[in-house]
Structure 1
Amino acid sequence: MSDQRAWEMRVFLHVALTGSFSAAGRVVNMTASSTAKLVTRIEQRLGVRLVERSTRRLRLTPEGELYRERAEALLAELDGLDAEVSGEARSPAGLIRINVSVPFGRHALIPLLPAFSAAYPRVRLDLTVTDDVVDLYAAQADIAFRIGALSDSNLLAVSLGSTRRHIVASPDYLAAHGIPRSAADLAHHNCLGFNFRRAASVWPLRSGGRLVDREVHGSIVANNGETVRHLAVLGMGLARLGEFHVRADLRAGRLVRVLDEVIVDSEAIHALYLGSKRAPRRIRAFMDFMTPRLKAFLEAHA
């Protein structure tokens, strides 16, 4: 690949990220018109439209999305090659941008970071902890940890295991409101929930020998699992959370499991990263370090 072609790809990726010729131009020290002409040249060479222009914001066409994904992968390959040739293969170095949910970050990943940093002191970490599912390209993340079903993607996925869901409550809450004995009893309990868009106010449970989505209600919803866990510990209601998330609370007696015989769902956990199997050395070092440790963490039950 020529240097000019690689430069064009990098400019295009800035356009895709910012949704603006002028904003992308400022990043690469080009005028808006020069940036627009560069994208037009790429489109003319390929014979397809990559960007839909409008007065408000640019939008990638399906062909543009494909070009963006492939360009990311190719440039990551080039960057990885340069890093290896310049010595990173012997001593991984550089920045890794990580996106992780609040519960998995706090309870699983973050406790492992001191050991990783001690083993790889030249690697810098940029950690974003959020329960919002973000686009790795838009967030410029190198690695993301995802809980639940994966959407179709050209990202590489590494399976770390799975976590079973538990319904939990504090001993004080159960003493005050009673212990639910069946799925139907949930109608009489305060069920804590989530307010993000993909959340649903139903819990999949076994009832009458079949799996049903039981609608639940509560007085509080929150935007992350760690807040819901804390509310449950404070005696505010029942919560449905991953085993790893409440493991320490169960061992300490701060939370108690209920309805184990009717809750049946579990969720897979993956690490996703950009590029090809020939990822930069620092990415491979991070994954090689974290994968067996995170698998062991998920396999250890309360």
Structure 2
Amino acid sequence: MSDRLNQMAAFVEVARQGSFVRAAERLGVNVSATSRGVAALEARLGVRLFQRSTRRVALTEAGRAHYARCEALLNEFDDAEAAVSQLSGAINGTLRVTIPAGLGMTHIVPFVAGFLERHPGLELDLSLANRIVDLVEEGYDLAIRVGGQRDARLVVRKLGSSRRVLVASPDYLERRGTPRTPAALASHTRLVLEVGLAPRVWRLVNGADEVAIDTPSRVRSSDAIALRRLCVDGSGIAFVPGFVVADDLAAGRLKRVLPRWASPVQEIHAIYPANRFIPAKVRAFVDYLEGILREVQ
């Protein structure tokens, strides 16, 4: 039975990673062991599960059908072990989490050490990425995201909220002048955060008033930390989450531009697969983050 579980684990991880090498790294075994496990599974089933080439590994039609079943079985197995482990009060294993880079670097990474100290048996696989990760397909336990989420396979829990704000360096404003109205932004250098459905359109609200700014941008980046650095260096006006620039505003390295205007409220969510059993490691990390992110602005 253990051989069959190992073979299924190898198959599922190769499917997730699209690579035998990366799958072996995730599983903590050598590549030949992963390859042998998949080959043994294919031999027992009498079908080819992957199309292999020098550049990529892709599931066959039979592989796609079997992947869904294997993943469900392995999840049930993990849930069963987690349920028993939880009775002892210990939290063990590996927690795979994906978090936006800006939020992660400013409000989560600084507190990770404290969480790990509380749970010495836990390993953390932390991905700081701004792309929308498919938790189910890519095998993540948890995502922290800013903004909405619609997927029946996932559970969404609000942790906090934030707004994007307009900021610029004192040097830039001295050189180019300070905008007094949203329309005046058209004559300034815009630094655009390429995140969301229409990132180049800045939606600004002030009470019941709302405007949309859509003018050419000088710099575009998916990394809020990079835009923050450019903004501090005087490269233009950025429209970024307030939590990314809070320290710079407090220290005077940046100033609010049009301080009465900001984005609509954006909620910060914890998102995890809608299994019947929520692993203790996920519950513990989400509870820990809620205390941190509740105060984010």
- Report the alpha carbon displacement of residue 121 of structure 1 after superposing the two structures with TM: 1.4
- Report the alpha carbon displacement of residue 267 of structure 1 after superposing the two structures with TM: 1.3
Name the CA shift for 1:71/1:247 in 2 (closer, same or farther; >3 Å). Answer: farther
Cα distance in structure 2, aligned partners of 1:21 and 1:245: 37
Report the counterpart of residue 265 of structure 2 in structure 1: 266
- Report the alpha carbon displacement of residue 280 of structure 1 after superposing the two structures with TM: 2.2
Name the CA shift for 1:73/1:290 in 2 (closer, same or farther; >3 Å). Answer: farther
Instruction: Kindly indicate whether the alpha-carbon contact (under 8 Å) linking 2:8 and 2:41 is maintained by their aligned counterparts in 1.
Output: no
- Which one-letter code corresponds to 1:116 in the other structure? F
Report the counterpart of residue 291 of structure 1 in structure 2: 290
- Which one-letter code corresponds to 1:233 in the other structure? V
- Which one-letter code corresponds to 1:220 in the other structure? V
Q: Identify which range, 232-241 or 146-155, moves more after superposition.
A: 146-155
- Report the alpha carbon displacement of residue 191 of structure 1 after superposing the two structures with TM: 0.6
Cα distance in structure 1, aligned partners of 2:155 and 2:45: 30
Cα distance in structure 2, aligned partners of 1:285 and 1:187: 46
- Which one-letter code corresponds to 2:161 in the other structure? S
1:76-95 aligned within 5 A: 76-85=75-84, 89-95=88-94
The superposition leaves residues 88-128 of structure 1 with CA deviations (integer Å, 9 ceiling, x where unpaired) of 74211121112111111111111221211221111111211
Report the counterpart of residue 48 of structure 1 in structure 2: none
Q: Identify which range, 32-41 or 176-185, moves more after superposition.
A: 32-41
1:1-302 aligned within 5 A: 10=9, 13-14=12-13, 16-18=15-17, 27=34, 29-30=36-37, 32=39, 34-35=41-42, 38=45, 58=58, 68=68, 72=71, 75-85=74-84, 89-195=88-194, 198=197, 200-206=199-205, 211-295=210-294, 297-298=295-296, 301=297
Report the counterpart of residue 46 of structure 1 in structure 2: none
* TM-score normalized with structure 2 length: 0.78
- Could you tell me which runs of 5 or more consecutive residues in structure 1 were left unpaired when the two chains were aligned: 42-50
Cα distance in structure 1, aligned partners of 2:240 and 2:227: 9
* TM-score normalized with structure 1 length: 0.77
- Report the alpha carbon displacement of residue 19 of structure 1 after superposing the two structures with TM: 5.1
Name the CA shift for 1:211/1:57 in 2 (closer, same or farther; >3 Å). Answer: farther
Cα distance in structure 2, aligned partners of 1:60 and 1:257: 54
- Which one-letter code corresponds to 2:227 in the other structure? V
Secondary structure at 2:190's aligned position in 1? coil
Cα distance in structure 2, aligned partners of 1:23 and 1:182: 51
Instruction: Kindly indicate whether the alpha-carbon contact (under 8 Å) linking 2:92 and 2:281 is maintained by their aligned counterparts in 1.
Output: yes
- Report the alpha carbon displacement of residue 139 of structure 1 after superposing the two structures with TM: 4.0
- Which one-letter code corresponds to 1:90 in the other structure? G
Cα distance in structure 1, aligned partners of 2:88 and 2:58: 38
Secondary structure at 2:236's aligned position in 1? coil
- Which one-letter code corresponds to 2:258 in the other structure? L
- Could you tell me which runs of 5 or more consecutive residues in structure 2 were left unpaired when the two chains were aligned: 24-31
Instruction: Kindly indicate whether the alpha-carbon contact (under 8 Å) linking 1:76 and 1:279 is maintained by their aligned counterparts in 2.
Output: no
Residue-pair matches, total: 285
Cα distance in structure 1, aligned partners of 2:137 and 2:226: 26
Q: Identify which range, 94-103 or 193-202, moves more after superposition.
A: 193-202
Cα distance in structure 2, aligned partners of 1:193 and 1:230: 13
Cα distance in structure 2, aligned partners of 1:37 and 1:198: 46
Identity of aligned residues (%): 33
Name the CA shift for 1:151/1:28 in 2 (closer, same or farther; >3 Å). Answer: farther
Q: Identify which range, 128-137 or 170-179, moves more after superposition.
A: 128-137
Name the CA shift for 1:14/1:154 in 2 (closer, same or farther; >3 Å). Answer: same
Instruction: Kindly indicate whether the alpha-carbon contact (under 8 Å) linking 1:21 and 1:33 is maintained by their aligned counterparts in 2.
Output: no
Secondary structure at 2:163's aligned position in 1? strand
- Which one-letter code corresponds to 2:36 in the other structure? N
Instruction: Kindly indicate whether the alpha-carbon contact (under 8 Å) linking 1:108 and 1:294 is maintained by their aligned counterparts in 2.
Output: yes
Cα distance in structure 1, aligned partners of 2:220 and 2:293: 29
Cα distance in structure 1, aligned partners of 2:145 and 2:21: 33
Name the CA shift for 1:203/1:22 in 2 (closer, same or farther; >3 Å). Answer: closer
TM-align CA RMSD: 3.7
